[in-house]
Structure 1
Amino acid sequence: MVSRRNRSLLSLSIFLAVCAWQVSAAAIKGETAVPVGQLSVSAIEEQLQDCPLVQALNQHKVLTKPATSSLSSQIFAFLFPGSPAVNALLATLYISGPPNFLLALCPPNIDPASLSVMVAFAVGGLLGDTLFHLLPEIFLGEDEHDKVKFVMVEPNKNLLLGVAIMVGFITFVAMDKGLRIATGGAGGHDHSHGHSHETVDVSAKTSGADVKGSKDSLRSRKQAANGKPTDPAPPEHEKEISASVKLGGYLNLIADFTHNITDGLAMSSSFYASPTIGATTTVAVFFHEIPHEVGDFALLIQSGFSKRAAMGAQFLTAFGALLGTCIGIAVQEYGGGSASADGGPVVGLWGTSLQWGDMLLPFTAGTFLYVGTVAVIPELLETGPDRGVELRKTLTQFVAMATGAGIMLYISWS
């Protein structure tokens, strides 16, 4: 007796055989819309939808998995109601505005190391978005709720996508390395890690200034006792800050501006890929921007900026995200797509179906991999002498990281 599962497999095999026979017969009679060998990827996908097997699979998918409107999809539809270009610009405002306004609530002496839990949460979100959304989208494409989708395997296409991912990764390595060389090894994208050392240096200089101030105060009292005029004490804001710390602050602004450009590229490439990818990328970048902006703010304060000047500088660097978004939109709109208007063959990069616009999303994935691993993980690996405190701190960080990744998984799953 044939089981239900075996009957389903048998039916699928029969459908497949019938579909293959019909396609072969049509090819023999010359009924294909475009000669074989000159079909574009989009034309192949359109003709596959005419196959009886594919139509049966589409009906089965609609019946077994009806489209539902989850809470997250309703929120995303409200936040991103326009075209991919409009949604990318809106996402850029979302990731740039609120984190910068939060700086007004930050005290000038905030320690970036205290943000380790938020950093761990951001790491989970970035890695979750990369592994659950970006990479599947890059190699397999986005699923559609009302029909099945087929993937045309192009080995060289996959290789170029991998190259774009690596280029994104190496780009951030070069930027981080250049910043470290310029600052004598004290800079880097891992702001909390770098800032902790700079805080020690500045506090040491401050302590030295306090000792000097106490000596000056003692000398002034002696001069007053002898009837001599006292020397005015140096103002508090004129405490000496080393040139390397000042240079680190300015170079960090340049690095932050460049980093924001890549965030803008991520917004444009993800929304042109699909609304879901764009929304999840926005969420991941938003949670990463909060500790990132606070860390930059603390570094600028330590570099001699006033709180107002530091906030103004951070707002200026936020324009890098807008610039990156506009560049990404221009590449997507004018850099060509993977399909031609007449359904004919598309000769893209190095003989593949890829266009320049298709390379932005894997480039973004490479930058996210660097930021989520190399740039931040070393900070989470730092430990102190108290084992009990470090164990509790580590547990909290892992919970935060799992929460960030879990949010990305939930959005993708639902």
Structure 2
Amino acid sequence: MAVWARLELGLLLAVLVVSVTAVQPARLLTLLSSGQGALDRVALGSLLNTLAARVHCTDGPCGKCLSVDDALALGSPEKSGAPSGPVLEPRHIPRLSAAAALYLSSPEATCTDVRAGLWASRADRLLALLEGPEALTPGLTRLLQRIQAPAQAAGQSTSEACVDLPQLLAEAAGAGAPGSPGPVLAALLDHVRNGACFRALPTPQYFVDFVFRQHDSETPNITLAELAALMQRLGVGGVTETHDDHSDHSHLGEEAEHKGPVAPSTPNSSSSVWDTLCLSAGDVMAVYGLSEQDGVTPEAWAQLSPALLQQQLSGACSPQSGHPTQDQLSQVERYLYGSLATLLICLCSIFGLLLLTCASCSTATHYIIQTFLSMAVGALTGDALLHLMPKDPKDRPCSHGHSHGGHSHGVSLQLAPSELRPPKQPHEGSRADLVEEESPELLSPEPRKLRPELRLLPYVITLGDAVHNFADGLAVGAAFLSSWKTGLATSLALFCHEVPHELGDFAALLHAGLSVRRALLLNLASGLTAFLGLYVALAVRVGEDSETWILAVATGLFLYVALCDMLPAMLNVRDQRPWLLFLLHNVGLLGGWTVLLLLSLYEDNITL
């Protein structure tokens, strides 16, 4: 009898050891984060048996379509023809986890893919679709819903003890990979191996908690003023007049003016993963355990109302909440396109060589500059009215102002022949007053003797240009931060505006007595500060509170430069051929407006 007792005890211990080994295998998330260890054929066979026991197909058994060789093939590059290795390394775990998730969510379709040799490519596609914070939460939610569907069909209810999406994301973040789909799916597969249940949607209490997270008072209840602010944000109810707690009213009145969707962040609570999840009508009914066939009863309507309120307050289903605009650029693209645009703008300083080629035809130079000047007026006003002003600050991740630092643009008009110059008008802070009657001497490549009043002029011009071009770089960077379309429009406007401006600067430097070579070098050196402004704008971000003011300043300065500086100077030009000048001015104006108008109308049809 004692011998049989010892044998039974030994068998019991052996069974316990085997059970513990089977229930608690090496965690896939641990292998992935540490980069050490591997999954051999035994471990993969155990995993596949667990997956096969969990799935249910409508047409009968379907869990035996996976083999260990199929799992090992996930570690081989696609279309390589190389034989599979004996183990799966940690770097293969994301693909294995995605492939297993596909099998759990749709076993019949996955078995078809396995037989066609497409299992690995489907797993890679799933990982690519889940890449990015905007796609991860809704994608994993739908995936968990499909995994959970067989249990719901069998009548099993999901309790709060089941694993949900916030827990999976927290485990992936704890492993040092927040927001990456591979570790999250590895954590999901770990819980599948341990026989855990899953909850794809939040609990009903979450919606009530979300609404109460909107107030930041010390009391646990929503006050009358907070309720009024909440109703005003929802666009319902009338005005409630009260006569006490004026300090609180002023604060809540400002809060009530903001009716748009806001992120639910308060000092005394943190946001949840569910806050940005857009729920369908079926999702809301599933949260409260309502049958689609039975519909919503009056009693159930009172229960699910907080869910509808939460969706409205969070703005989760608004287009700007979960779907980034397609014209947004990546960080690398912003630097690349911004640098190219700034380089083209800086090359305007080389246009000063046109003055030398046209030294014997100052009249032609005059008409060329007048055409570019009118085009600059059209481009600047078109960009301000058609792109910067209509732009909603919420659609712009960040912006920077465009400041000209008191820099004048009227100097470009002083290249006209002496008999065509308009009468001098006072222009405070303008370099135009320092430029005298033009003559062929102005375009001479040789330096001439400086007069005392012109001795400091080259330094003043260079310093003003440096500040001005720095502001231009800020404008280009801010525009490309918004979108490539706004960046293109702003770059085009600045280019048209810089051509006559740089020609005028070059002429002023020559008039001050500099040689052609030195004038070009100073013009080019001052233009390089635009790159500094560009990279400052791309590196430094501003908040939404500052964007409205910055956009207003940028729009106002564009309109001021075009309408109050360049346009009056253009209209004051006197010419022996007024009809030709009238034609060139209108061609430039209409050309600038037409280009910006076409870009505004058809920018949605243009893709990069």
Range class of TM-score, shorter chain: 0.5 to 0.7
Match of 1:126 in 2: 380
Map 1:39-78; keep pairs closer than 5 Å.
Answer: 43=263, 50=279
Match of 1:85 among 335, 339, 346: 335
Deviation at 1:239, TM superposition (A): 4.8
User: Aligned to 1:189, which of 395, 399, 409?
Assistant: 409
Partner of 2:528: 319
1:282 aligns with 2:532: no
Residue aligning to 1:95: 345
Q: Alpha-carbon deviations, 1:277-333, whole Å to 9, x = none?
A: 11111111112221111111111111111111111111100121011112212322x
Tell which structure's C-alpha radius of gyration is larger. Answer: 2
- Would the aligned equivalents of 2:351 and 2:502 in 1 still touch at CA under 8 Å? no
Q: Is the 8 A contact 1:269 1:360 kept in 2?
A: no
Deviates more, 1:317-326 or 1:392-401: 392-401
Q: Which among 468, 488, 491 is matched to residue 259 of structure 1?
A: 468
1:116 Cα offset (Å): 0.6
Q: Which structure 1 residue ranges, 5 or more long, are not aligned?
A: 1-25, 59-66, 143-160, 177-187, 208-235, 339-353
Q: 1:278 & 1:42 partners in 2: Cα distance?
A: 27
- Cα distance in structure 2, aligned partners of 1:132 and 1:307: 39
Which residue in 1 is equivalent to 2:86? Answer: none
Letter in 1 for 2:458: G
Higher deviation after alignment, 249-258 or 364-373: 364-373
Give SS of 1:126's match.
Answer: helix
CA deviation digits over 1:78-137, x for unaligned, max 9? xx994323432332122213x233333431745764311111011101110111001111
Contact 1:195 1:299 in 2 (8 A): no
1:370 maps onto 2:601 in alignment: no
- Counterparts of 1:317 and 1:238, CA distance in 2: 20
Please give the secondary structure, in 2, of the residue aligned with 1:137.
coil
C-alpha displacement at 1:30, in angstroms?
1.2
Choose which of 35, 38, 42 in structure 1 pairs with 2:213: 35
Given candidates 136, 151, 170, the residue that maps to 2:390 is 136
Quick check: 1:106 aligned with 2:355?
yes
Q: Which of 571, 582, 585 in structure 2 is aligned with 1:394?
A: 582
Distance 1:29 1:49, change over 3 A: closer
Superimposed CA distance per residue, residues 48-106 of structure 1 (whole angstroms, 9 cap, x where no aligned partner) = 96587999997xxxxxxxx9x9xxx9xx99xx994323432332122213x23333343
The SS at the match of 1:106 is helix
* 1:175 equivalent in structure 2: 406
Give the TM-score taking structure 1 as reference length.
0.57
**Partners of 1:318 and 1:255 in 2: how far apart?**
11
Paired residue secondary structure (1:395): helix
Aligned residue among 590, 596, 601 for 1:413: 601
Distance 1:269 1:201, change over 3 A: same
CA distance, structure 2, for counterparts of residue 37 and residue 391 of structure 1: 67
Higher relative contact order (CA 8 A, sep 6+): 1
Task: For residue 358 of structure 1, report the CA deviation from its aligned partner.
Answer: 6.5
Ranges in structure 2 where 5+ consecutive residues have no aligned partner: 1-203, 217-254, 265-274, 282-311, 320-324, 422-433, 603-608
- How many aligned residue pairs are there? 288
Q: Is the 8 A contact 1:121 1:400 kept in 2?
A: yes
Alpha-carbon shift at residue 140 of structure 1 (Å): 6.5
User: Do the aligned partners of 2:276 and 2:316 also contact (CA within 8 Å) in 1?
Assistant: no
State how far apart, in whole Å, the 2-side matches of 1:265 and 1:238 are. Answer: 35
User: Against the structure 1 CA distance between its residues 29 and 200, is the aligned structure 2 distance closer, same or farther, given a 3 Å change threshold?
Assistant: closer
Residue in structure 2 matching 1:294, options 503, 508, 526: 503
Q: Residue 572 of structure 2 corresponds to which residue in structure 1?
A: 382
How far apart are the structure 2 equivalents of 1:396 and 1:301? 27
Partner of 2:371: 117
In the alignment, residue 334 of structure 2 is paired with which amino acid?
P
Go from structure 1 to structure 2 and tell me whether the alpha carbon gap of 1:87 and 1:100 turns closer, same or farther (over 3 Å shift): same
Q: 1:35 to 1:400 in 2, by over 3 A?
A: same
Query: Is the CA contact (8 Å cut-off) linking 2:469 and 2:529 kept in structure 1?
Result: yes
The 3 A distance-change label for structure 1 pair 273 and 243 is: same
Q: Distance in 1 between matches of 2:598 and 2:477?
A: 23
Q: Compared with structure 1, are the counterparts of its residues 358 and 128 closer, same or farther at alpha carbon in structure 2 (3 Å cutoff)? A: same
Query: Which residue number in structure 2 is paired with residue 269 of structure 1?
Result: 478
RMSD, matched Cα:
4.2
Structure 1 residue 240: Cα displacement: 3.9
Q: Aligned partners of 1:34, 1:392: CA distance in 2, in Å?
A: 70
Mapped to 1, the partners of 2:340 and 2:548 lie a distance apart of 21
Code of the residue aligned with 2:263 in structure 1: it is A
Q: 2:519 aligns with which of 296, 304, 310?
A: 310
Give the TM-score of the pair, scaled to structure 2.
0.41
CA distances 1:199-258 after superposition (whole Å, capped 9, x unpaired)? 644649x79xxxxxxxxxxxxxxxxxxxxxxxxxxxx95754422234333211111111
Q: Tell me: CA distance 1:238–1:391, structure 2 relative to 1, closer, same or farther (3 Å).
A: closer
Using the alignment, how far apart are the partners of 1:267 and 1:43 within structure 2? 30
